[in-house]
Amino acid sequence: MTRAARRPQQAALFPDLPAAPPASRVNNRPEAAALAEVLRALRCNPAVAWCERQNSGVAGIGGRFVRFGWPGCSDIIGQLKGGRLLAVEVKGQHGRLQPEQRQFLALVHRFGGVAFLARDCPHVHRWFKSLRLRQDTGSKLSAPKTNTPHNALFCGVFRLNLLTSLPPQMSYLTNFGVLRAVSLETS
Radius of gyration in angstroms for the set of CA atoms belonging to the chain, rounded to a whole number: 24
Domains located in the chain, CATH noted = 30-141 (3.40.1350.10)
For residue 181, which phi and psi values (nearest 5 degrees)?
A: -85, 0
- What is the tens place of the pLDDT at every residue in 51-84? 999 887 788 888 888 888 888 999 999 999 989 9
Rounded distance, CA 123 to CA 160, Å? 40
For residue 42, which phi and psi values (nearest 5 degrees)?
A: -70, -40
Identify whether the C-beta of residue 111 lies closer than 8 Å to the C-beta of residue 179. Answer: yes
Q: What pLDDT, on the 0 to 100 scale, is given for residue 14? A: 72
Q: Read off the pTM.
A: 0.57
Residue type, 20: A
Q: How many secondary structure helices (H) and strands (E) does the chain include?
A: 5, 8
Q: How confident is the model at residue 3 (pLDDT cuts 50, 70, 90)?
A: low
Burial class (CB in 10 A: 0-12, 13-18, 19+), 148: middle
Q: Nearest to residue 34, comparing CAs of 127, 124, 128, 126?
A: 124
Q: What pLDDT, on the 0 to 100 scale, is given for residue 5? A: 67
- What is the tens place of the pLDDT at every residue in 120-168? 999 899 988 888 756 654 444 444 443 433 333 322 222 223 333 444 4
C-alpha pair distances (Å), 107 with each of 13, 43, 48, 125: 64, 23, 20, 23
